[in-house]
Amino acid sequence: MTRAYEHKSSTDEIRQRFDQDVDRFSNIETGQTATIDAPLAMELITQAAFHSTNNIQRVLDIGCGAGNNTIKLASHVSPFQCDLVDLSLPMLERARQRISQVNTGDIRILQGDFRDIELPEEGYDVILAAAVLHHLRDDQDWESAFRKIYRLTAPGGSVWITDLVSHETGAVQSLMWQRYGDYLRSVGGDPYRNKVFDYIDREDSPRPVTYQLDLLRRVGFTQVELLHKNSCFAAFGAIKAERTLEKTQP
């Protein structure tokens, strides 16, 4: 990790916080009150996955938490096999229990950092990454993670992301951060606003949605889509081209 990120939490420290928060994240409607438009973003990425991807058989949920996004996807298409990745074992166990109630496909849980776990290349028709990529750090880390996502996506498959995002200019960043603070204050007053801002400062290093859309194209995705953006949160994704058969000479 570069010096600019030395004050950020380690993956183990992030895991410890989420180990203690399983019940809150198990509520599909209210579990992410700190995220503006969380239910809408979840609906948009799962509908986009369903409408953009033919024959969804295998799904990867990166940073799955208690499984809300995969559960929402199962309301559009089922059954499918799914691999669930998260730092927190209690989250994974809760996710498996909840998803098994709505999806009869095989469910595999993998505890650890997505960047370090061996996963099948071109193995997933849909990849979901909700509120997780903001934990990436420097440019190299971001590009390496996005290249891995591209390698894991099957031809014709898609990746869908919802996340905290920053902005390209200081003026707009300040404006949107103020608006986000006002939103948090409306939910739980100044103590809640300060609590959320504190753990964002410790744990997160978000990038602009424009940066991430450009990066999706750079690593190989041929089509990208911005589904929604409100203040400091966005929902977006990308589709991998189908494999084309090369013509052979007679």
Q: What are the residues whose beta carbons fall under 8 Å from the beta carbon of 150, sequence distance 6 or more?
A: 216, 219, 220, 221, 240
Mind listing the domains of the chain with CATH numbers? 3-239 (3.40.50.150)
Per-residue pLDDT of the chain (250 residues; tens, 9 = 90+): 455 677 877 888 888 877 777 777 777 666 688 899 999 999 999 999 999 999 999 999 999 999 999 999 999 999 999 999 999 999 999 999 999 999 999 999 999 999 999 999 999 999 999 999 999 999 999 999 999 999 999 999 999 999 999 999 999 999 999 999 999 999 999 999 999 999 999 999 999 999 999 999 999 999 999 999 999 999 999 999 998 765 545 4
Q: What are phi and psi of 206, to 5 degrees?
A: -70, 160
List phi, psi (to 5°) of 142. -60, -50
